[in-house]
Amino acid sequence: MLDNEFHISQDARASLVSIICPRFEEHKSEIETGRSLTELRELLRTLDIEAGYQYVQTRNSLDPATILGSGKLKEIADQAKDEGSTLLVFDFELTASQIRNIRKITGLAVVDRVHVILEIFAKHARTRDAKIQIEISRLQYVLPRLSGFWSHLGRQRGGIGVRGGEGEKQIELDRRIIRQRIEFYKKELKLIAKSREQQKKKRQNQAVTAALVGYTNAGKSSLMNRLCQVDIKEENKLFATLDSTFRTLNPDTHPPMIMIDTVGFISNLPNTLIDGFKTTLESALEADLLIIVCDISDPNYKKHLQVTEEVLNELGVHDTEKVTVFNKKDLLNDPIKAKIVKRVHPNSYVVSSFDQDDMKNLRSEIINYFLNKQQKYDLFIPYEEGAAHSAVASKTNIIKTSNHEKGIFYRVRVPDFIFNQLGLHNFVLRPEEADHFSNAKDTF
């Protein structure tokens, strides 16, 4: 019973429901409600579910049992059924009893925004650990709502002949099975985390990383493709990327520079998914640089930027250096907006991933950021020290060289941890010696 029944049917046609109520914990303004419903449509589109009719009611208070009251729900159900809808999607989280009551009154399948997001995550997870964490989140969401799901499923199965006691026993059995599954998956996740920690220690100091983070559908994968000159799947859908993707930004630097594309964030992220984000974003959260990507063409871009910062704080990312990239400037109707954003965020970059000059400049800025973080060393290595010359050529970023009678002068940039491994300390010049060789012309 637990494997398939909680998934939303792709054959469903959805009607959307929201409220505007100052006393409601998830209260939004009229404009925010409209934008949230538009986003909910996009979430459903990611599941290939068409959304038609939508209903928004302004209320001073809520019915704790049904949110809107039975009369209003019947009115909504009639309208939804007239348009061919089989599913009501509420743009806020519902309790188990609310789901059960609304289904009973409307005769329609009922899910909330959290359920939709969990469904998308389950559909798009690719790696074993991501699938496990999302399944834990899904089961934690389902557990307190099981009675609502089960009563609906009982009717689907011809539940008229199902006695109440039988249903209650089945619910308790399912609860026990779900709890056991959660514990099993948590143990498996710990084993995966232990293995990953060992792999991380092996990789440590072998590369520097820049992670692309930001609101879902901000164009992170497009930026990754252009900056790294690779072909990562790009889709104009929310949460098209879930598992982190690694690509080399510049293989010629030492150490190599790696970029990471990550799952997008979203407003009102369910608490059950915060840990899921920690798992899928672990490598990104440990990056040397976070590149926050924001769709400047979206009317709600300020809110998206705020949500990104809030989620990063919730995930415990405080000290990592960050830079903001406003993407999709090619979709702006008003070019003045780019100038205004740049004035408000002077250290940011306003780009289009389809503009070659923008991508070339941004790529150079990222590379230079890492190079400038490296220590500068001036070296003079005699010609006969072949191993030292080889180490400089293969493991450092050479800024300047000059040939002299007894050897070669090098000015290099390299992280301290790499330099310490190379055994080049005996060739380091004092400042006055470095000035002499740096200013001298080649003599050999």
Domain harbouring 313, CATH code: 3.40.50.300
Res 301: pLDDT: 93
| pTM given for the model | 0.76
Enumerate residues 6+ apart whose C-beta is below 8 A from 356.
none
18 domain-assigned: yes
Give the C-alpha separation, 66 to 55, whole Å: 15
Same domain as 313, residue 275: yes
Same domain as 364, residue 396: no
Residue 205 φ/ψ region, left for φ over 0, alpha for ψ in the -120 to 50 degree band, beta for the rest: left
> pLDDT tens-digit profile of 288-311?
899 999 999 998 899 999 989 988
Residue 108 belongs to domain with CATH number: 3.40.50.11060
185 domain-assigned: no
Same domain as 162, residue 21: yes
Task: Name the residue range of residue 419's domain.
Answer: 374-439
Same domain as 378, residue 366: no
How many domains are contained in the chain? 3
> pLDDT tens-digit profile of 229-277?
876 555 555 665 555 677 888 877 888 888 888 878 887 776 667 666 6
Same domain as 154, residue 61: yes
Same domain as 137, residue 27: yes
Same domain as 240, residue 120: no
Tokens of 410: 């090098």
Same domain as 414, residue 399: yes
CB-count burial class (<10 Å; 0-12, 13-18, 19+) for 334 = exposed
197 domain-assigned: no
4 domain-assigned: no
Where is the domain boundary, 346, 371, 396?
Answer: 371
pLDDT bracket for residue 88 (50, 70, 90): very high
What's the farthest any 2 CA atoms get from each other in the chain?
99
